[in-house]
Amino acid sequence: MSDSATLPRINGRRLWDRLQAMAAHGATANGGCNRQALTDTDRIGRDLFLDWCRQAGCDIRIDAIGNIFARRPGVDADAAPVLTGSHLDTQPTGGKYDGVYGVLGGLEVLETLNDAGIHTRHPLEVVVWTNEEGCRFDTAMMGSAVWSGAMPLAEACALTDRDGHSVGEELQRIGYRGQEPAQPFPVHAAFELHIEQGPVLEAEELAIGVVTGVQHMSRHRVFIDGVATHAGPTPMAMRKDPMMALAALLPALFALATEQGPEARVTCGFVQARPGSSNTVPEQVELTVDIRHPQLARYRALEAGLEAAVQDACARFQLEGKVSCFWEAPGVTFDPDCVAAVAQAVEALGYSHREMVSGAGHDACNLAAVAPTSMIFIPCEGGVSHNEAEAITPAQAEQGANVLLLAMLERAGVAA
């Protein structure tokens, strides 16, 4: 690449202003964002993004699962695009930058090239993937899963939220059930820009994470069945109380994570007792267990350990327990050429950096199955994400987008 002083740079102020403008839609009282997939606020956010894309002269396509593709043409109209993007949907008490930064950082790359009059051989595209978070509709990275062929369109459209509204119905209602087929097309290279969502970069005082892959992960639903009875007359020793099994299960799960080393992750993010009455012993407890590890053998040990821990806890209290996996994302190793393009960009810009494996799942995991892909991380304050306190600085946002710009230019080729 050219000398650092002559390299193109993104407009950091424009990027930051747009991040704050998007965050106003679904803004929460504590400074975060609640813009869940296919809600009215999601529609407004999508509409705003499309307004900016049209002002930038992009060609727009929307596919049958609601994924948005905004294209900046290349000199070679037949060349496969270089793709970037992420998602606009958030957690119920999410932050302003998770996903959104990758979308608007990608748009800023296109805007910067427009401003500089730089033309690329390959087209460039920015994508918004539908329902990455998987909080309203219980399948994470859904839009990219359908597009990549990992999930049938009909199955995704049939997913319902807790109020019974389906993905298909909500896509239609908000006007984002597109006409384009939700299926992969040739992609020359793909990059996803994202906040780290962890504390490593900040702790090591580094500007950029060059992401080489993503760890194995899955989500499991556990049901423990007991017998509902009155809280007063029934002695403790005579109850079939699923909460007792839960009390034994949780320490066993956390001990399991310790056994599998410091890279192991076990999270119980949802617990519900039924019928949910304060003076009734529950007849059933439901919980979800998220497990993750970058090493396949240890990940499989976590899976097996979860099943054994549930059965052991239930046996102690003569209860029935069942474990079912409802989502899984195998570990991913990213494309060496795309990783090299990111590393080359970081070196050219002189930013401090390290290689790292992502602890969180991203749409890039699905893309990697059908296209050369890699990711770029920037630090976030305290490593906090999926939280209203999620924070980055304008300088960090600008640095990550500069890396994305140069990596995309390297793969797209600057036209003479």
Residues 112-169 have pLDDT tens digits of 999 999 999 999 999 999 999 999 998 999 999 999 999 999 999 999 999 999 999 9
Average pLDDT score over residue span 367-389: 97
Confidence of residue 300 (pLDDT cuts 50, 70, 90): very high
Residue 359 region by backbone torsions, left for phi larger than 0, else alpha for psi between -120 and 50, else beta: alpha
Residue 33, strand partner residues: 27, 94
Domain end, chosen from 305, 329, 353, is at 329
> How many other β-carbons are positioned within 10 Å of the β-carbon of residue 121?
16
Tokens for 55, please give them. Answer: 């002002």
| 302 and 154 housed in the same domain | no
Does residue 11 register a pLDDT over 90? Answer: yes
Does residue 13 register a pLDDT over 70? Answer: yes
Confidence of residue 2 (pLDDT cuts 50, 70, 90): low
Residue in 201, 212, 241, 238 with CA at minimum distance from that of residue 224: 241
Most distant CA atoms of the chain, gap in Å: 85
Pairing of strands 59-62, 280-281: unpaired
Question: Do 346 and 403 form a contact (C-beta atoms < 8 A)?
Answer: yes
| 221 and 193 housed in the same domain | no
Confidence of residue 410 (pLDDT cuts 50, 70, 90): very high
- The pLDDT of residue 3: 58
Does residue 177 register a pLDDT over 70? Answer: yes
- The pLDDT of residue 241: 98
Cα(22)–Cα(356) distance, integer angstroms: 29
| 164 and 276 housed in the same domain | no
Tokens for 368, please give them. Answer: 């990697």
Average pLDDT score over residue span 75-87: 97
Which residues lie below 8 Å from residue 155, measured CB to CB, with a gap of 6+? Answer: none
Domain end, chosen from 297, 329, 361, is at 329
- Calculated CA dihedral for residues 356, 357, 359, 364, nearest 10 degrees: 120
Pairing of strands 265-274, 284-293: antiparallel
Number of domains, the chain: 2
Average pLDDT score over residue span 28-41: 97
| 21 and 91 housed in the same domain | yes
Does residue 294 register a pLDDT over 60? Answer: yes
Average pLDDT score over residue span 225-248: 97
Residue 375, strand partner residues: 192, 211
Average pLDDT score over residue span 400-416: 96
Q: Which residue has the tokens 């617990």?
A: 271
- The pLDDT of residue 1: 52
Helices (H), 175-273: 200-203, 242-259
Tokens for 12, please give them. Answer: 């950091």
- The pLDDT of residue 311: 98
Measured CA to CA in angstroms, residue 8 lies from 102, 112, 115, 320, 406 at distances of: 19, 8, 10, 62, 8
- The pLDDT of residue 416: 77
| 134 and 262 housed in the same domain | no
- The pLDDT of residue 330: 86
Average pLDDT score over residue span 279-283: 97
Question: Do 103 and 126 form a contact (C-beta atoms < 8 A)?
Answer: yes
Domain limits for position 167: 4-215+331-412
Question: Do 90 and 34 form a contact (C-beta atoms < 8 A)?
Answer: yes
Tokens for 222, please give them. Answer: 């556990």
Does residue 315 register a pLDDT over 60? Answer: yes
- The pLDDT of residue 329: 82
| 161 and 302 housed in the same domain | no
Measured CA to CA in angstroms, residue 142 lies from 89, 291, 328, 390 at distances of: 12, 19, 12, 23
| 98 and 124 housed in the same domain | yes
Question: Do 211 and 338 form a contact (C-beta atoms < 8 A)?
Answer: no
Cα(51)–Cα(48) distance, integer angstroms: 5
Q: How is the chain split among helix, strand and coil, in percent rounded to 5?
A: 40, 25, 40
| 100 and 20 housed in the same domain | yes
Percent of the chain past pLDDT 90, that is, above it, reads: 95
How far apart are the two ends of the chain, measured CA to CA in Å?
Answer: 15
**Mean residue pLDDT across the chain:** 96
Q: How far is CA 108 from the centre of its chain?
A: 20
The tens digit of pLDDT for each residue in 87-121 reads: 999 999 999 999 999 999 999 999 999 999 999 99
Which residues lie below 8 Å from residue 29, measured CB to CB, with a gap of 6+? Answer: none
Domain end, chosen from 309, 329, 349, is at 329
| 95 and 220 housed in the same domain | no
